[in-house]
Amino acid sequence: MTGSTPKDELDRPHDLVGVGIGPFNLSLAALAHGIPGGLAATFYEQRPAFHWHPGLLIEGATLQVPFLADLVTLADPASPWTFLNYLKSRERLFPFYFAEKFHIQRAEYDAYCRWVSERLPGLHFGHQVDSVRWNPERRLFEVDFTQIDPEGEAEALGRAYARNVVLGVGTEPYVPEPLRPLAEAPGVPVIHSADYLTHRASLLAADHVTVIGSGQSGAEVFLDLLRARPAGAERIHWLARTEAFAPMEYSKLGLEHFTPDYTRYFHSLPEPVRGELVPRQWQLHKGIDADTIAAIHDELYRRTLHGGWPDAVLTPGVRVRTAGRVATTQVELHLEHLQQGTRSRLTTDAVVLATGYRERPVDRMLAGLDPYLRHDASGRARIDERYRLVLDPSVTGSVYVQNAEKHTHGVGAPDLGLAAWRSAAILNAVTGKEPYPLPRRTAFTSFGLEAREAPSIPAQDRKLTPLTQNV
């Protein structure tokens, strides 16, 4: 839905105001719509319509989670907003059934989310939230926004009142410091993979292209460029800091790190332990899908059938120290191999940065809440088990976060597979009831030892266990 917000709706306090309409807040809105008795909820998004990573909807690229990880199914499979119901509404249910696709294409997921966003009430696109404050007299949050016209210009100002707020502002492309000046300079062929499809034609026309980043986006961009460039004249470099172009952990027990059980376990760990753990788990969420790796190898191998090797260089374990322009059309990368300690230079005509995303900063938006916010030892917002920012007790409302809690809830924070569960947990907390009963156990793995008092053993009965014995 789009358009202005009626004044009576603004004056009437909402149970819930959502900031941002990406997949996670769209999931929350869809489940809120199904609460018996209704919930006064409204959501604001500065973009004119829903779009999910449009620059990376590469033909054939699939989600890395099954289709059951849609907006609602894992919390409410009977919801009218399921992916299967979307297929039914488009008369595509039987073709999907015979296609036997457990992992759908990204473009199809985007189309499904847009289908929901165009039909679900309470969504307001073209509304940029400027600030969130606590009003102690009214015991409500004040959410100030600017309504934006189709040309992106400010059209009107507004304010909504809310008992609870949910932040779902998403992430933004991350550009490493050595490459930031080039990426920000007009006319320099250094782009983030988030804009890949916008620049695909010019990248294919470039004489030499360098892709930087060892995750799924880097692999998909490399594969797409490789398939589109002529054999023997590929002229592509693929560089990465990681020690290998490694597959994502996708074993069945490994995937249990993306269950509510693991989320609860991770949240219970001491803060220093959590801080050390997340970087070590990069292969759980930053590796490459095994099918994509296989497709890359198959394409490279196919190009050796008539002798010779493709003109494609794949080098892991490399960091970009500095970068600069050569003349007006080329980029020079100064590289260092992390294991060898050697350095070299690479001149290229275009660079695609598949360097991931970072949480979008909300300090400015939440400046009015700063006196009430509680922070951890690293200066980050403290977030409780129910996804609420820890605020001063004088604030009776709650501010929830979506995909901004990796430091407190672990690697599952950005995972689509936990979207419906987290949304249901938030709605259960907001309502103080249980409109969405959630399972008490979701994994076969027990991630920690239960805190049980050990039985007392008399000293004369104690025995030492040899170190070599399996216990």
Number of domains in the chain: 2
Indicate whether 266 belongs to any domain. Answer: no
Question: Where a domain ends, among 306, 335, 355?
Answer: 355
How many whole angstroms from its chain centre is CA 460? 57
**Structural domain boundaries enclosing 312:** 173-248+286-355
Confidence (pLDDT) at 36:
87
240: how many CB neighbours lie within 10 A of its CB? 24
Indicate whether 94 belongs to any domain. Answer: yes
Regarding whether 337 and 194 lie in a shared domain, the answer is yes
Gap between the Cα atoms of 49 and 351, Å rounded:
29
Residue type, 297: H
Regarding whether 180 and 60 lie in a shared domain, the answer is no
What's the alpha-carbon Rg for the chain, to the nearest Å? 25
Judge whether 320 and 334 are in contact, CB under 8 Å.
yes
Beta strands of 90-153 (E only): which ranges? 123-125, 127-135, 140-148
Beta strands of 119-233 (E only): which ranges? 123-125, 127-135, 140-148, 154-162, 164-167, 171-173, 190-192, 209-212
* Pairing of the two strands 209-212 and 236-239: parallel
Gap between the Cα atoms of 299 and 97, Å rounded:
29
Regarding whether 25 and 51 lie in a shared domain, the answer is yes
Gap between the Cα atoms of 208 and 10, Å rounded:
54
Regarding whether 53 and 26 lie in a shared domain, the answer is yes
Gap between the Cα atoms of 71 and 421, Å rounded:
9
Regarding whether 144 and 16 lie in a shared domain, the answer is yes
Confidence (pLDDT) at 453:
52
Residue with tokens 């996670």: 24
Q: What is the pLDDT of residues 227-263, one digit of tens each?
A: 999 999 999 999 999 999 999 999 999 999 999 999 9
Regarding whether 335 and 208 lie in a shared domain, the answer is yes
Mean pLDDT estimate for the chain? 93
Regarding whether 348 and 382 lie in a shared domain, the answer is no
Mean pLDDT of all residues in 330-350: 97
**Confidence bin at 459 (pLDDT 50/70/90):** very low
Indicate whether 459 belongs to any domain. Answer: no
Residues 6+ away with beta carbon under 8 Å from 101: 67
**Confidence bin at 1 (pLDDT 50/70/90):** low
Mean pLDDT of all residues in 423-444: 96
Indicate whether 254 belongs to any domain. Answer: no
Work out the widest C-alpha separation in the chain, in whole angstroms.
83
Q: Indicate if the pLDDT at residue 3 is higher than 90.
A: no
Regarding whether 365 and 349 lie in a shared domain, the answer is no
Indicate whether 450 belongs to any domain. Answer: no
Gap between the Cα atoms of 19 and 144, Å rounded:
11
Judge whether 311 and 317 are in contact, CB under 8 Å.
no
Confidence (pLDDT) at 468:
34
Phi-psi region of 193 (alpha: psi -120 to 50; beta: other; left: phi over 0): alpha
Q: What percent of the chain has pLDDT over 90?
A: 89
Regarding whether 221 and 156 lie in a shared domain, the answer is no
Judge whether 118 and 139 are in contact, CB under 8 Å.
no
Closest CA to 145 of 160, 129, 132, 156: 129
Among 15-24, 104-113, 284-293, the range scoring the smallest mean pLDDT is 284-293
Residue 257 DSSP SS3: helix
Indicate whether 119 belongs to any domain. Answer: yes
How many whole angstroms from its chain centre is CA 309? 37
Rounded to 10°, the helix 290-302/216-228 angle is: 20
Q: What is the pLDDT of residues 295-311, one digit of tens each?
A: 999 999 999 998 999 99
**Confidence bin at 186 (pLDDT 50/70/90):** confident
Regarding whether 133 and 192 lie in a shared domain, the answer is no
- 3-state secondary structure string, 378-446? CCCECECCCCEECECCCCCCEEEECCCCHHHHCCCCCCHHHHHHHHHHHHHHHHCCCCCCCCCCCCCCC
Q: What percent of the chain has pLDDT over 70?
A: 93
CATH of residue 60:
3.50.50.60
Gap between the Cα atoms of 223 and 82, Å rounded:
31
Q: What is the pLDDT of residues 120-169, one digit of tens each?
A: 999 999 999 999 999 999 999 999 999 999 888 999 999 999 999 999 99
Confidence (pLDDT) at 454:
46
Which two tokens mark 463?
Answer: 């025995």
Q: Indicate if the pLDDT at residue 8 is higher than 80.
A: no
Q: What pTM was estimated for this model as a whole? A: 0.92
Confidence (pLDDT) at 97:
97
Gap between the Cα atoms of 218 and 56, Å rounded:
10
